[in-house]
Amino acid sequence: MDVPRLAQKGEFVEIMNFIDLVFRPGQAGRLIMQRQYPHLFQNKAQYWQRITTLRDGGELVGCLGIHPVDLRFEEVQLRAGGIGQVATHPQRRGEGIMGTMLNDAIARMYKAGYSISILGGDRQRYGWFGWENGGVRQVYQVTPRSLGKAAAIERRLPLKRLDTSAATMGKLHQCTLHHPYWALRPKREIVPLFKRNGREVWICQAGRRFAYVVLNNRTGLGVDEMGGDADLAVSILRVLMGRRRWQNISVVTGPNTDQIDLIRPFAAGWNRQCDGMIKIINLPLLLEQLTPLLKRRAKAAGIGGRYRFAMEESGQSGLLELGKGKTNNISLNARDMVSFFFGIDPLTEVFGQMNSVDKLSHLLPLPLFVPPLNHV
């Protein structure tokens, strides 16, 4: 069997058919995954070179995508390696192909300068390689009773399906630039993020006010994203619920106050969930990147000290300096380190009341969030 290598020119269609064979069996040749994730799959070098392949005697037996996702954490940014399409030929499972591909991907991400990796998948399967559940998303349930009927003035609003004009795309790009926890969206990716199979986008321009609602028709009835003018966005949802006669719809938001304030008053209920799985690829780099945010928070909370972190399996270590104070040593395995920095539960509940944890519980964990449209 060969070693994993980057995809090469001329292999794109073969890889897309292979991914469909694995994830959309019975629909080979239709490029289903490509149409559902056009922001990930394009027959251009900058896109197909994100994919690693594994061959045996020339036959494609495995592939994996490493898609860059730039995440915003207030004033700092992290580049995450989004792992997707971990595909093994259906007749070659159980041969260690997935493990070979993942270990190769981890080494590639470290070399490429990623501090963390994200993916969606089975906790037990990917936990063996250091990924752990983390991040935060809010999921709200909305009913006709909780939202209320659309008023006559709302029913007359000029709702329309998404167009891909430069003006509309520019407004969609502007709408989320202020979210403190979000994914950075280059302008060139706005069209493929919003215009794709499985999503139905409604927009409304009323004078200078603009709002949008993104419906997910692929994974079940729900709203993946809504934004712009808050009142106008809720009006769009109210009109759509009335037109479609929906009795219950779920709305996903990030841990952003403006998003929560938009939908919480109209929710019948909600729950807080992990947003996906996370792996720390480069601990020293992660600490370096997060230091400006954590030092600002520490100063506001009156917390100082030096914190030496060690990640047991990999042997990686790093120092977080928050000002004057004693040195604290924190040694954790890879999955616990994820929970420490990006878990959904308070640190003191997971790690107890030791002094260093009690202090850092005022700063961590951070609410990592990847908008559903940016999922890989």
Token look-up 């994203």 returns 225
Angle at 369 between CA 169 and CA 44, to 5 degrees: 50
pLDDT at 72: 97
Structure tokens at 64: 């994996």
Alpha-carbon distance 333 to 318, whole Å?
14
- Name the CATH superfamily housing domain 5-114: Gcn5-related N-acetyltransferase (GNAT) (3.40.630.30)
Cα dist from 29 to 35, 350, 376, whole Å:
12, 47, 21
pLDDT at 219: 62
With left for phi above 0 and alpha for psi between -120 and 50, is residue 52 left, alpha or beta? beta
SS3 139: strand
**Under CATH, what is the fold of the domain 138-273?**
Aminopeptidase (3.40.630)
Alpha helices in 196-342 (DSSP H): 230-244, 257-263, 283-301, 334-342
Helix axes 283-301, 334-342, angle to 10 degrees: 30
Of the pLDDT bands very low, low, confident and very high (cuts 50, 70, 90), residue 250 is: very high
Q: How many Cβ atoms are within 10 Å of 75's Cβ, its own excluded?
A: 9
The b/e string for 256-281 (b: 16+ C-beta within 10 A; e otherwise) is beebbebbeebbeebeeebbbbbbbb
Of the pLDDT bands very low, low, confident and very high (cuts 50, 70, 90), residue 354 is: confident
Condensed to tens digits (0 to 9), the pLDDT of residues 41-97 reads 999 999 999 999 999 999 999 999 999 999 999 999 999 999 999 999 999 999 999
* Total residues found in the chain within this entry: 376
Q: How far, rounded to the nearest angstrom, does the alpha carbon of residue 29 sit from its chain's CA centroid?
A: 28
Structure tokens at 113: 């300068």
Condensed to tens digits (0 to 9), the pLDDT of residues 265-310 reads 999 999 999 999 999 999 999 999 999 999 999 999 999 999 999 9
Q: Tell me the one-letter amino acid at 255.
A: P
Query: Does residue 259 surpass a pLDDT of 90?
Result: yes
Of the pLDDT bands very low, low, confident and very high (cuts 50, 70, 90), residue 187 is: very high
Token look-up 């795309």 returns 169
Query: Does residue 29 surpass a pLDDT of 80?
Result: no
Alpha-carbon distance 242 to 115, whole Å?
45
- Residue 319 near residue 308 (C-beta atoms within 8 A): yes
DSSP 180-233: SEEE---GGGHHHHHSSTTEEEEEEEETTEEEEEEEE-SSSSEEEEEEESHHHH
pLDDT at 218: 72
